[in-house]
C-alpha cells in the first residue's frame, strides 16, 4: 500500500511512518522541518525510518515541503492510496500568540489535502484531530457527542478541520475519519511537553515546574496506541465521515504526574508552582467506547506504566535526546 504521511518526521507522524514501513508499505513522509523544537529529534526519526525500511520489505521516501504548497500536495497525494494527515502547527500557546499562522497551516493545509484526495480518488484520508476541540467539560469522560467549545485557536482549527473532512465525505464521497488524540507521549516526544520536561529536570537536579496549582488533569496516551488506531484504519471502513476519541481512558493530575516522576528519579527535589498559562484546558478524559466498538481499539498502558517506559527510554537515549530537551 502507498501511504503519504504529512508531518512525517514529527513525533506522531514519525512513529506512524516507521510502523507503516515496518509492515512493508511504501511510505512518503512530508515534513517542512520548521524549528518549532530542535530538529535533531526529527533527523533521528528519519534515520530510524530509513533503518526500518532497509530491514524490511517497505519503502521510505522523505520529502521536505509544506502542506500549504497546493501543487506539491496534489503531486504527492496522487501517488498515494491513503493519506495520513498529521501535519499541523502544534502548541496551544503558540496558537494564542500566532493565530493567523496556525490557521493558515492547520486549515489551509487540510483543505489542500482534502481537495487533492478528491481529485485523485484516494482510498481514505485519516486526519489527526485533538481533544482540544472539547474545551470546557460539561461531563467527563468526553464522548464524541460532547459539545465542542474549544478555548484556543489551535482547538478551533482542529474542530474546523473535522468539519471539512465531514463535508468532503458527504459532498464528494471521500472516505475520511478524524482521530481526536488525547495528549500523546512516548519516545522522541516533543521536549516542551510536561512529561519530558519533568523527566529532564529531575535527571538534572532541577525541580519540576507546574503551571497553575497542579489540579488540572490529563488523559495521556502512549504513542504506540495512536499507531495501533491508525493501523486499524488502513483497512477498516467502519467510521468513514466520523470522529473517534483515541485516549488511554485514564487520567492523572499534573501534580500527581510530577510527583510520580520526581519520586522515581529525584525524591529530594521540591515541586515549583508558577502562574497558570492561558488557553490550557482544565481537564481531559477520553471515553474510547466508540473506537473500541468500531476498530477494536484498546489502550495498552496505564499512565503510570507508560511514564515508566518513557523514563527507561529516556535513560537509554540521553546522549542524543537530553541535550535537545535541555536546549528547548
pTM reported for the whole predicted model: 0.95
Cα separation of the two ends of the chain: 37
- CA proximity to 190, closest of 29, 19, 15, 51: 15
| Mean pLDDT of all residues belonging to the chain | 94
For residue 155, pLDDT beyond 50:
yes
State the pLDDT confidence band at 239, using cuts at 50, 70 and 90: confident
Residue that the C-alpha cell 513525533 belongs to: 11
- 211 carries an active-site annotation: no
Q: Which of 37, 60, 134, 154 is catalytic?
A: 154
Instruction: Report the percentage of the chain scoring pLDDT > 70.
Output: 98
11-68 pLDDT tens trace: 999 999 999 999 999 999 999 999 888 899 999 999 999 999 999 999 999 999 999 9
Q: Please enumerate in sequence order all residues whose Cβ is within 8 A of that of 87, keeping only pairs 6 or more positions apart, or say none.
A: 6, 7, 10, 13, 30, 31, 32, 67, 105, 109
- CA proximity to 287, closest of 246, 242, 328: 246
For residue 1, pLDDT beyond 90:
yes
CATH H superfamily, domain 2-181+223-246+286-300? NAD(P)-binding Rossmann-like Domain (3.40.50.720)
For residue 324, pLDDT beyond 80:
no
Query: What is the chain's alpha carbon radius of gyration, rounded to the nearest angstrom?
Result: 19
Amino acid at each position: 500500500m502507498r501511504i503519504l504521511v504529512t508531518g512525517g518526521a514529527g513525533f506522531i507522524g514519525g512513529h506512524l511512518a516507521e510502523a507503516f514501513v515496518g509492515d512493508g508499505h511504501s511510505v512518503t513522509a512530508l515534513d517542512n522541518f520548521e524549528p518549532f523544537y530542535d530538529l535533531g529529534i526529527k533527523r533521528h526519526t528519519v534515520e530510524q525510518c530509513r533503518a526500518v525500511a532497509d530491514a524490511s520489505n517497505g519503502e521510505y521516501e522523505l520529502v521536505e515541503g509544506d502542506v500549504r504548497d497546493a501543487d506539491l500536495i496534489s503531486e504527492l497525494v496522487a501517488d498515494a492510496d491513503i493519506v495520513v494527515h498529521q501535519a499541523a502547527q502544534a502548541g496551544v500557546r503558540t496558537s494564542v500568540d500566532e493565530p493567523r499562522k496556525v490557521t493558515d497551516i492547520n486549515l489551509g493545509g487540510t483543505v489542500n489535502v482534502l481537495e487533492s484526495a478528491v481529485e485523485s480518488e484516494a482510498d481514505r484520508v485519516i486526519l489527526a484531530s485533538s481533544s482540544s476541540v472539547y474545551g470546557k467539560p460539561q461531563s467527563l469522560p468526553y464522548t464524541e457527542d460532547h459539545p465542542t467549545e474549544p478555548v484556543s485557536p489551535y482547538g478551533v482549527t482542529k474542530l474546523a478541520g473535522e468539519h471539512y473532512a465531514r463535508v468532503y465525505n458527504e459532498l464528494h464521497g471521500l472516505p475520511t475519519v478524524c482521530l481526536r488524540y488525547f495528549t500523546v507521549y512516548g519516545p522522541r516526544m516533543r521536549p516542551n511537553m510536561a512529561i519530558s520536561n519533568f523527566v529532564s529536570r529531575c535527571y538534572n537536579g532541577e525541580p519540576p515546574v507546574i503551571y497553575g496549582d497542579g489540579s488540572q488533569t490529563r488523559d495521556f496516551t502512549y504513542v504506540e496506541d495512536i499507531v495501533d488506531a491508525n493501523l486499524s484504519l488502513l483497512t477498516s471502513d467502519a467510521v468513514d465521515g466520523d470522529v473517534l476519541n483515541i485516549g488511554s481512558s485514564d487520567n492523572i493530575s499534573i501534580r500527581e504526574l510530577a510527583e510520580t516522576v520526581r519520586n522515581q528519579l529525584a525524591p529530594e527535589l521540591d515541586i515549583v508552582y508558577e502562574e497558570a498559562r492561558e488557553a490550557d484546558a482544565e481537564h481531559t478524559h477520553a471515553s474510547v467506547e466508540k473506537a473500541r466498538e468500531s476498530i477494536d481499539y484498546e489502550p495498552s498502558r496505564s499512565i503510570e506504566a507508560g511514564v515508566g517506559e518513557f523514563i527507561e527510554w529516556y535513560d537509554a537515549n540521553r546522549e542524543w535526546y537530553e541535550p535537545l530537551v535541555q536546549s528547548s
